[in-house]
Amino acid sequence: MFIGVDHGTRAIRFANTDGKCFVIPREEAGRLAPAEIADRIREAFDLGDGGAGGAEKVDLLALCYSMGDGICEIVRIEDAENRGVISQDGAGLHVGGGTNVFDAVREAKWPAILLPGIHDRSDIDPRMRVFSHGASPEKVGLAYKVRKDGPEDFIISDASSNVVTIGVAAGKIVGAIDAPIFAPGLLHGPLDVAAIRKVDADEMTANEAFTRGGILRKRGLTLKGCTDEEKEAAFESLALYVAMEVSAMAVLLRDHGAAKPALYLAGDPAPRIAGRVSQLLGREVLALESCDAALGCALIAKDVYNGAREVLGIGVDGRVWG
């Protein structure tokens, strides 16, 4: 069996190549011991040692962890220093759920690979390396799911708590725009002038400014606590910013010979705003399923297990087959 793990902002999703998926909210994962998480994975996928009783074994698991900026290739989990990140400190909320999942996989001793994020040392368009970070590893899984469905040229904007957009031309990731750079999500967003002033005045940290910089949080709102009118206005703003960011990524892809890439939306609001984003862009934008990133990671695990030397232009470390 091949399993993929999507380390998302609000939940951690697990999927196998048969399309079975289950979810653990990140806060819940943060309260569970690694052994408890491993047991949930075993139960969900009927895992065992491959022996009697019909239980299956894990042939290979593809894992996402945090920003993935400490590695440039797909590596075995045991070969990743510091869990494949430069620092545990980054942009966003830290609740420990992803760390517990990482430890659960490692302690269960399942064969596992770790996916890199897209960052300034990735093999992408060099002009995009001015930004230290472009996308976390689960976006690689999301892009691989779309690529396996057919298109070679496409843009995916993952829009929910954050907005992250990734561009693929001729089957290779050429660039990504991370959440602190351009479009605000519902909760988190880039630092504007007011936020910079507050940081300089020691009224908040830069990370606090980012996690409060979203369309709703800038106004002190949450999805559960706002009125229908406020919610509708927030989704209208989100659709506009997503359309703007997708348009920006389309400029890069056009320069790579991809004049009309397929367009996709991911994230919980995707079905709700896809029609409006399509109107704004004058082109069809398709909504992806919530478990597609985890499924894409599982598909990466399967193809690497079968000998793939690269995935979307990302190399595979030779020790994976060692």
CA dist., res. 185 & res. 195, Å (int): 16
pLDDT of residue 28: 92
CA dist., res. 298 & res. 307, Å (int): 14
Would you give per-residue pLDDT tens digits along the chain (322 residues)? 999 999 887 889 999 999 999 999 988 998 999 999 999 999 999 997 654 455 789 999 999 999 999 999 999 999 999 999 998 766 666 656 889 999 999 999 999 999 999 999 999 999 999 999 999 999 999 999 999 999 999 999 999 999 999 999 999 999 999 999 999 999 999 999 999 999 999 999 999 999 999 999 999 998 888 999 999 999 999 999 999 999 999 999 999 999 999 999 999 999 999 999 999 999 999 999 999 999 999 999 999 999 999 999 999 999 998 7
**Helix (H), strand (E), coil (C) string for 47-94:** ECCCCHHHCECCCEEEECCCCCCCCCCEEEHHHCHHHHCCCCCCCCCC
Kindly list the domain boundaries of the chain, sorted by start residue: 2-184+232-321
The dihedral region occupied by 60, where left means phi > 0, alpha psi between -120 and 50, and beta the remainder, is beta
pLDDT of residue 225: 87
CA dist., res. 26 & res. 101, Å (int): 10
pLDDT of residue 310: 97
Q: Hey, what are 8's tokens?
A: 């998302």
Strands (DSSP E) found in the chain? 2-7, 11-16, 21-25, 60-63, 75-76, 112-114, 118-119, 133-135, 154-159, 163-169, 172-177, 262-266, 286-287, 310-311, 314-315
pLDDT of residue 215: 97
Residues 13 and 1 sit within 8 Å (Cβ to Cβ): no
CA dist., res. 63 & res. 246, Å (int): 27
pLDDT of residue 276: 98
pLDDT of residue 54: 55
Q: Global pTM?
A: 0.95
**143 vs 106, 132, 175, CA distance in Å?**
25, 20, 12
CA dist., res. 223 & res. 292, Å (int): 24
pLDDT of residue 45: 95
- Amino acid identity, residue 99? T
pLDDT of residue 92: 61
Q: Which residues contact 201 (CB under 8 A, 6 or more apart)?
A: none
Q: For residue 83, give the nearest of 100, 97, 96, 70 by alpha carbon.
A: 70
CA dist., res. 309 & res. 161, Å (int): 33
pLDDT of residue 49: 61
Q: Which residues contact 274 (CB under 8 A, 6 or more apart)?
A: 265, 285, 286, 287
CA dist., res. 265 & res. 286, Å (int): 6
